[in-house]
Chain A
């Protein structure tokens, strides 16, 4: 298993957001997390790269194992952790820098000074993110001039450039048009050969299109986890069935 959550509980101040989460995520797979708004799925993926640490009232117990090591272990350096566990956010969030510098940023902050290597990696990352052809002639233009879909693929390239082992995606397509969404989904399909991908999505069709495993979250608990084809065709839990057939949420 690449990632394993064991009895994970998370709360912010008084509110208990995640309750006894247990989950196993295999290597080089795409796992979709579905569920209604506020069910805790974003909180869960933000626990994997410890982005929740930025919120002062965050508390947790239980473990999240990455390759068998608890990410909340006191010996873990959170900066190294986030280098290994990349994240793509809901709203495309390129830096107000050039396209090239956006992708180079991660390499530079991790101490890379060999410009040739940086150039090569930026190109490879942009190619893997299927955006190279669209931007190769304007690498020095501001990333803010790209369309929403292009920005999101740029953010994926930026994440890939620091060679993470895991990529977390927090509703990566929710701010995008359908055509851009399909491009990102294609991309996710290809990326899973090299990376372990965990994505939060609101869109159940999207979950069936791109993921191999799906977990259904409700009110901070996992109701059901299974292979995607099983979960959607043959849900074991009544609540899952109600959700996927659109009766609530």
Chain B
């Protein structure tokens, strides 16, 4: 009996370590990324790095501001395209569609989320870039093309998290609204949507996180020129693509500056998560599958 107790003790401790594994890994990742980036921040200055306009590793110029703006620009445009469609589709699946249609659409959303990002990028490269080039001029590698591909990639995230939020609206609210003679649409607009709003906002934040973190799909269609794009049809470089493009050959301070780029990205993601978590706690929601 005593050995049994002892076993239980050790197994519990062992399992505890697996449970805090995520936290250990996050701390290790953060430590390594920061450690490798410190020389760049020291040499170049953190604010100079963050707000500097010039990125010319050959001349030891490491300003990532254009990439920060690029990431925000591409993400913002992608969300403008993805949010309305995602919300309509989530409401359709949860409220309007007959059961059979809903069951049919679920694996469609899952497959959209399962397609590898390189395949999205490849599709963008071979299909969207020529279409954009022929319709709007320029090279076709642009903010718009990147946003278009990202919009498709964040659809499943926003749809499935909003769907959970809509599903969680108490049936009693709906009954009360129908009982007063509301149409279904009035009930959706005035009762279900406001009640699900915190969850929907969380869904959108998670979508933002996915879009801002995406790398290869963007690389393949964005043109990757370091500049603050003057229009949505000009090429752009984001924080993620900056890292992936140059890591292969970077050495010295350039190597450190790419880790510095990752630190900025890391901070943005943590901020987004903190906001999502705050909303979740404030409104006491439980969200399934809520990851960026």
Q: In their complex, do chains A and B touch, with some C-beta pair under 8 Å?
A: yes
Q: Which residues of A contact B (CB under 8 A)?
A: 49, 51, 54, 56, 79-84, 86-87, 89, 91, 93-97, 105-106, 108-110, 155, 158-159, 162
Contact B180 A96 (CB under 8 A): no
The closest CB in chain A to the CB of B174 belongs to: A54
Beyond the given pairs A56-B99, A155-B176, A162-B180, 14 more chain A to chain B contacts, judged by CB atoms under 8 angstroms and listed by A's residue number, are A51-B175, A79-B181, A86-B179, A87-B175, A89-B179, A93-B170, A94-B176, A95-B177, A95-B191, A96-B195, A106-B182, A109-B181, A158-B176, A162-B181
The listed residue (A54, A56, A82, A97) touching B180 by CB distance below 8 A is A82
- Top 9 closest pairs, chain A to chain B, by CB: A83-B181, A93-B172, A87-B179, A82-B181, A106-B180, A93-B176, A109-B186, A109-B182, A79-B181
Contact B181 A80 (CB under 8 A): yes
Whether B194 sits at the interface, judged by CB under 8 Å, is yes
Contact B176 A89 (CB under 8 A): yes
The closest CB in chain B to the CB of A102 belongs to: B176
Cα–Cα, bound, A159→B191 (Å): 16
- Chain B residues with Cβ below 8 Å from A80 are 181
Cα–Cα, bound, A94→B186 (Å): 16
Residues of chain B from 178 to 203 with CB closer than 8 A to chain A in the complex: 178-183, 186, 190-191, 194-195
Contact A105 B180 (CB under 8 A): yes
- Of B174, B178, B186, B195, most buried by chain A (CB within 10 Å of CB) is B178
- Chain B residues with Cβ below 8 Å from A159 are 179-180
Whether B173 sits at the interface, judged by CB under 8 Å, is yes
The listed residue (B179, B186, B195) touching A49 by CB distance below 8 A is B179
The closest CB in chain B to the CB of A110 belongs to: B181
- Of A91, A106, A158, most buried by chain B (CB within 10 Å of CB) is A106
Q: Closest CB of chain A to B167's CB: distance in Å?
A: 15
Cα–Cα, bound, A159→B178 (Å): 11
The closest CB in chain A to the CB of B183 belongs to: A79
Residues of chain B from 66 to 104 with CB closer than 8 A to chain A in the complex: 99
- Chain A residues with Cβ below 8 Å from B174 are 54
**Sample of 24 A–B contacts (CB below 8 Å):** A51-B178, A51-B179, A79-B181, A79-B182, A82-B179, A83-B180, A83-B181, A84-B181, A86-B179, A87-B175, A89-B176, A93-B170, A93-B172, A93-B173, A93-B175, A95-B191, A96-B195, A105-B190, A109-B181, A109-B186, A109-B190, A159-B179, A162-B180, A162-B181
Cα–Cα, bound, A12→B173 (Å): 23
Cα–Cα, bound, A109→B190 (Å): 9
The closest CB in chain A to the CB of B180 belongs to: A106
- Chain B residues with Cβ below 8 Å from A49 are 179
Cα–Cα, bound, A79→B181 (Å): 5
Q: Closest CB of chain A to B169's CB: distance in Å?
A: 10
The closest CB in chain B to the CB of A155 belongs to: B176
- Chain B residues with Cβ below 8 Å from A105 are 177, 180, 190
Cα–Cα, bound, A61→B172 (Å): 27
Cα–Cα, bound, A105→B99 (Å): 30
